[in-house]
Amino acid sequence: MGHYSTVVKAGPWLVVSGQLGVSAGALVPGGAGAQTAQAIANLTAALAGHGASLGDVVKTTVFMTSIDDFGAINQAYANAFGAEHRPARSAVAVAGLPMGALVEVEAWAYRGQQPER
């Protein structure tokens, strides 16, 4: 959609650009929770293309167009990352996102020695 790289490798780091809840070129139906689940599925695929997984993610930023959607977004996020893996996270309400999306998720993954948590 724009002039950027989906994933940039910087030493042991993978920086993944914001992922929307898009499948087959369109936003998935079902609201913010469904878009979050799809955005994280897209994030997972981007990481896998570089030999990484959600388990390597140490930091995320979640952008949402309505803070009222935080509960649904947080639930989908927790379901995707699991009970044990809790990357550092920022969650920010914004005025708008590309394609009219309700949520966007970006991530930093570390592929070196496992950092302390």
Total domains present in the chain? 1
Beta bridge partners of 19: 105
**Residue 70 falls within a domain, yes or no?**
yes
In sequence order, which residues have a C-beta less than 8 Å from that of residue 93 and are 6 or more positions away? Answer: 63, 64, 65, 66, 67
Query: What does the pLDDT look like over 76-109, one tens digit per residue?
Result: 999 999 999 999 999 999 999 999 999 999 999 9
Query: What does the pLDDT look like over 28-53, one tens digit per residue?
Result: 999 999 999 999 999 999 999 999 99
Question: What pTM does this model have?
Answer: 0.94
Q: CA–CA distance from 38 to each of 9, 12, 24, 29, 54 (Å)?
A: 23, 26, 11, 10, 14
67: domain CATH number?
3.30.1330.40
**Residue 19 falls within a domain, yes or no?**
yes
